[in-house]
Amino acid sequence: MKQEWKKHEKNLYIPKETPMLLEVPEFKFFTLEGRGNPNTDAFAEEIGVLYSLAYGIKMLPKKGIAPDGYFDYTVYPLEGIWSLSEEAILSGVFDKEQLVYKIMIRQPDFVSEDLAEKVRHEVANKKPNPLYAKVKFEAIEDGLSVQMLHIGSYDDEPRSFEKMKEFCRENHLIQWDLRHREIYISDARKTAAEKLKTTLRYFVKRG
């Protein structure tokens, strides 16, 4: 049976439009760190590099390579952990040029560090780009989190963040990390801004 995250891991990726508390386990990701305005060609290029690696793993069986434990699956969505630079935090002024991010695409459990490195080498040789050298393969655990589905433009996310903050106050939860995670359910290139679906996640601890 094909593993489809939209069906089989819906609680992690497509929550309701109201905040919920959940425990998020450790997963493996291809990640890429950056800084600056995401509305640029450079950011789009970074996303492209991550998808090239993700599909490099996905298509291994078509190249006659069957990693141990391989199963058919749907490529996971793009995700990002976002914060602001220290300068922006101190100034109290929101500036997209001062955004600091780590974008990523989750990989199935069968992907080992050796396999990830092998695919990175093959893809980089086929499509040379210095960004491949900056990609990391790492395990990340969000742990106890508050999340909800945001429908609308990215610039309108503060509306949903306020609901999440209120949920935290009501449930004696503390956002211990000022960063937050975004999971992009919609393809921004093909979806109207008011219909974009994005899962927002805070990292919390009990107060």
Q: How deeply is 109 buried, as exposed, middle or buried, from its count of CB atoms within 10 A (0-12, 13-18, 19+)?
A: exposed
Listed range (18-22, 85-89, 94-98, 133-137) with the worst mean pLDDT: 85-89
Is 138 a residue whose pLDDT tops 80? yes
Tell me what pLDDT residue 109 has: 95
d(CA 92, CA 30): 32
Tell me what pLDDT residue 172 has: 98
Tell me what pLDDT residue 65 has: 87
Is 90 a residue whose pLDDT tops 80? no
Mean pLDDT within 12-21: 98
Listed range (88-92, 131-135, 164-168) with the worst mean pLDDT: 88-92
Listed range (61-65, 90-94, 198-202) with the worst mean pLDDT: 90-94
Q: pLDDT band for position 88 (50/70/90)?
A: confident
Could you state, in order of their start, the residue ranges of all structural domains in the chain?
Answer: 9-206
d(CA 48, CA 68): 27
Q: pLDDT band for position 95 (50/70/90)?
A: confident
Is 92 a residue whose pLDDT tops 80? no
36, 42 Cβ separation under 8 angstroms: yes
Please choose, from the candidates 175, 152, 158, the residue with its C-alpha nearest in 3D space to the C-alpha of residue 21: 175
Q: What is the pTM of this model?
A: 0.95
Listed range (68-82, 89-103, 133-147, 190-204) with the worst mean pLDDT: 89-103
CATH 3.20.80.10 fits 9-206, yes or no: yes
Looking at the chain, the whole-number percentage of residues with pLDDT higher than 70 is: 100
Please choose, from the candidates 70, 48, 74, the residue with its C-alpha nearest in 3D space to the C-alpha of residue 127: 48
Helix (H, G, I), strand (E, B) or coil at 192: coil
199, 148 Cβ separation under 8 angstroms: yes
Tell me what pLDDT residue 87 has: 82
Helices (H), the chain: 5-8, 10-13, 41-58, 86-91, 113-126, 157-170
One-letter amino acid identity for 171?
A: N
Please choose, from the candidates 153, 202, 163, the residue with its C-alpha nearest in 3D space to the C-alpha of residue 182: 202
Helix (H, G, I), strand (E, B) or coil at 150: strand
